[in-house]
Amino acid sequence: MIARTPFAEQAAWDRLKEAIRSLARRELMSRFHHVRVMFKEDGSLVTEADRAMQQAVMYYLAHHWPEYAFLGEESSCNSQERALTRSEGCWILDPLDGTTNFAHGFEMFTCSLALSVGEEVVLGIVYDPVRDELFAARRGMGAELDGEPMRIRSAAQTLAASLALVDYKRLPVNLAVALVEAPPFASQRNLGTVALDWCWMAASRADIYLHGGQKLWDYAAGQLIFAEAGGVSSTLDGEPLQAHATTVRSAVAAGSAELHARWMKHLEKAIAGHQS
């Protein structure tokens, strides 16, 4: 499907990646540590940086590739749903993933951009402006970090040896309690940015992953990058994670199929044990 887009050509692909890097430096880093914070209707944080970055990226994409629709986290629900129906394709943007981190001065946030064509994500870019790391992938063409090929080097062989990325806040309560009471992994972290979770998994910086609820713009780019790096993922129900919809999805991932199977089996037992 990537062959149906301009980004099968290296020049267009490089230009898109560099644009995201440049816009994030200008719109996000210039506002870091002195940003105005607001609240959405659902109570979640939003900053002027979120909105400025979305406007800048939307303008750039519309100018260079106007054939594609645009879905941004800060867009209205109606416009998001309309964008997904466009047959030509749809950009999916989280202009600032990790807004709470950003607003509190934590240096863990990203800009995440994906392109969906025919209900399939065909490319993904995640840029971390603090570390100046750009993770990217085109479907069927592998993942990359700063232009160099990136493959998951070696996942832990057992859960007990694994470093886990786990977001407890969004998990079913019985599962969260089970993992806190009897953690099966060696250690656990929570980055506070879904896109970076996926990319650090792809870069072999963690072994297993669990998140109770992420939206399309949270995972679209990062999950493709992770998959193209050789990782395996699903929902808690064992379904494919990628969905051409804005509904919330759980995520379970590991650096290998074997470790993913062990992780899923443990989670299923943990849920069953706390329901009995």
What's the confidence (pLDDT) of residue 159?
A: 96
What's the confidence (pLDDT) of residue 77?
A: 67
Structure tokens at 176: 């969260």
- Between the alpha carbon of residue 175 and those of residues 178, 213, 250, 269, 270, the distances in Å are 5, 13, 13, 10, 6
CA 18 to chain CA centroid, nearest Å: 19
HSE on the CB side for 14, CA within 13 Å? 5
What's the confidence (pLDDT) of residue 157?
A: 87
Architecture label for domain 2-150? 2-Layer Sandwich (3.30)
What's the confidence (pLDDT) of residue 42?
A: 66
Please answer whether residues 99 and 204 qualify as being in contact, where contact means their C-beta atoms are separated by less than 8 angstroms. Answer: no
Structure tokens at 119: 């209900």
Q: Which 8-state DSSP code applies to residue 9?
A: S
Residues in CB range of 145: below 8 A, 6 or more apart: 133, 134, 135, 136, 203
What's the confidence (pLDDT) of residue 34?
A: 82
Residue 165, beta-bridge partner list: 189, 209
Residue environment code for 218-247, b if the CB has 16+ CB neighbours within 10 A, otherwise e:
bbbbbbbbbbbbbbbbbebeeeebbebebe
For each of the chain's 276 residues, which pLDDT tens digit applies? Answer: 787 899 999 999 999 999 999 999 999 999 998 877 777 666 676 789 999 999 999 999 999 999 999 998 776 666 676 777 666 899 999 999 999 999 999 999 999 999 999 889 999 999 999 999 999 999 999 999 999 999 999 778 899 999 999 999 999 999 999 999 999 999 999 999 999 999 999 999 999 999 999 999 999 999 999 999 999 999 999 999 877 777 899 999 999 999 999 999 999 999 887 554
Residue 196, burial from CB neighbour count under 10 angstroms (0-12, 13-18, 19+): buried
- The CATH class, in words, for 159-275 is alpha beta
Measured between alpha carbons, how far is 248 from 59 in angstroms, rounded to an integer? 27
In the chain, what are the domain boundaries? 2-150, 159-275
Residues in CB range of 33: below 8 A, 6 or more apart: 105
Measured between alpha carbons, how far is 131 from 167 in angstroms, rounded to an integer? 22
What's the confidence (pLDDT) of residue 163?
A: 97
Query: CB neighbours (10 Å) of residue 105?
Result: 10
Q: What is the pTM of this model?
A: 0.94
Measured between alpha carbons, how far is 204 from 202 in angstroms, rounded to an integer? 5
Measured between alpha carbons, how far is 212 from 149 in angstroms, rounded to an integer? 30
